[in-house]
Structure 1
C-alpha cells in the first residue's frame, strides 16, 4: 500500500502542490471517451483497500458517463507482474492509469518513461515525473478518531492492532490510534502483531485470535482483507473497520469505520485528461479534503460516543485538532515532540517510533 520513505518537504502541507509537465498535453479525440486503467494489488473483495479503489473507479463512471471508459486488472503482485500489466494497459490505449499500491511506484515510473503521452497516478507513491502524479491520504487522522471510539468502548483498556509492514504510514496509524485512545483513557494500551504482509487472510485471522487471547477486547488493523473483522465477530469482540464499512460482515463487532474516499480525486484527474489540464504533482489529503472519513457506527456505540467522535472529526477538518501535537513520548521513554510543538509533515512522513502506550517494538 504505502511506504513512506519520503524526502523532507516532498509533500506540501497544503493538500495539493502541482508542477507543470515538460511536454505538450494530449487530449482524447473530440467525442471520444477517456480511457482509464486501474491496477489492483489484491482481488476485489467485499470490503477493504482494493474495494475502495474500485468504488473510486465506479464513481468516475457515474460522474462522467459516456465520457469515460474504464478497465481494471485485479490481484496483480508488486514487481515484474505489475510492470507487465501497467505496460499492457498503456499499449491498449489507456490515457490515464491509476496504480494504487506502493510497490507499483517503480514499475509505474519505468513504464511512464516509455509512454510519455500517457498520464499515470501513483497512489501511495512519492516519486513524480512529468507524466506521473502521486496521491495519498492522511489515514492517521481517521485512526485518531477511531482510537477515541475504541477508548470509550473498551472495558479492559487493552486494544489490539494487526499491522502489515513497519513503515511510516503504518506507524502513523498505530500511534494516532493509541493517542486517540489515551485522550479518553490515559491508561489504555495497544498490543501490536506484525505480519509482514498486506493481504493474507489466514495470517490476519490468526493474529487477531492471538490478540483476543491477551485481554484485548477491541481491535484495529492495517491489512487488506476483512479477516480481522470476521474474527472479532466470531469471538464477540469489538473492532474498527478499515478502508471500508464492514458492518455487513461484522454487524455486532464494528464500532466505527475509517473509510477512504477516492471517487472525487479520481474523477477530477480523469476530467483533467479530458480537457487537457492534467499536470503532475502530489496530493496528501485527509478529513478536510474528504479523502478520509470516520463514521458507519455500529449499533452498540452510544449516541454520546458517536457525537464525540464526529465533533472531533470537525475539529480535524478545521485544523483545531492535530493528532501529533506535543508533548509526545515514545514507548521507550524518550521525548519525541516537546510541549507546544506539532510534528511537521516531513517528520510525520518519516515517522520511526512507537508512542507511549504501545506494547512491542518496530519489527525489523
Structure 2
C-alpha cells in the first residue's frame, strides 16, 4: 500500500557556494547613456542607466526589426550575464534563436550593483542576518522598479510585447524570479529559478502560491542533487493551483547538479525552451528513472533515498515527474512516498514500478544500495 513520506532536509549550512554571489557591484567602467540609439552589432553592449539609477544591458537578436514584436526576458545579476567571461547569455540566446529552438527575444540584464540581498530576498530571515549580515527585504521595491522603469524604458526604445515578459535568475536571483511570478501573474508570464534559494525564511515561498494564475503562465525551477533541498511541495502547490506539470509547471531535480554557474549554463537552454520554444506542442518522448542516494548534511550516516523520474519532451526539455508519477512496490520490503521517496531495508532487493501516462519503468534496488 502506498504511503506519503515527506523527507525534509534539516536546515543546513551548505550554502557556502552562495557566498561567492554576495560580492558588491558598485560601479561600471563602460560609458552609460540614456540616448536612443540603434542596436549595436555586438548586441549586449547596449548599456543604459535609468532615471532611478538602475543599470541594464540589452541583448537584441540578430535581424531585429521594429516591424515585429518580441518577448522580453529579464535577467537578474545582470553584471554576470553577457560576455565571454560570464554566463555568455547573449551567445546562448543567439545560438538557440539561430538554430530555431526558440523564437527571437529581447533580453535585459539588470545589474544588482551590490543590492542582491535587499532586492532579491522578500522575507526577513534571522539566519541570513546572522551569517551574511544585515539587509532590508525590498523585493517589492525591486519588482515595482522593473514594472515602472525597466519595462517602460525598453518598450519605448524597442518593439516588445509587454504581455510576454519573463524573468530568470539563479540562487537568490532564482528566489526573486519565482516570487515575482507568484505575486504578479498579470505582469510576469514566465519565471525561472535555477537552484533558487527557496529555503529562505524556512521555505516561506511555499505559502505564496495563491492563484488563479493566467492560462499561459509558466514556471521553471530546479535544484541539483549535490545541493539538494526539498522543493517538491512547491511543485505540488502549483499543480493544485491549476498549473499543469509539464505544460505550465516544470521542476527539474538535476542529477549531480551543484551550485555553480557552470552547472546552470549546462541546463539554461531548458527553461528558455519551455518559455520560448518554436515547438508549440512538445510531446513526451521518453522516461528515465534516476536513483538518488542523498546524504544528510547534519546527520552522518543518514541518507535520503529517492527515485527521480525524468521525462524528455520532443523539444529536448527535461523535467522531473516527482508527485505526478505513480509508484508501485512489486517485490521486497519498502515504504513508498507519493513523490518518489522510499524507505527500504538495504539488506534485501526490491523492485518498484514507476508509471506516467503511457510510460513505465521497473526500478531494481540492489542489495546494499545506499547503505
TM-score by length of 2: 0.31
Q: Which has the higher helix share?
A: 1
Hey, which of these two has a bigger chunk of strand by percent?
2
- Higher RCO, 1 vs 2 (CA within 8 Å, ≥6 residues apart): 1
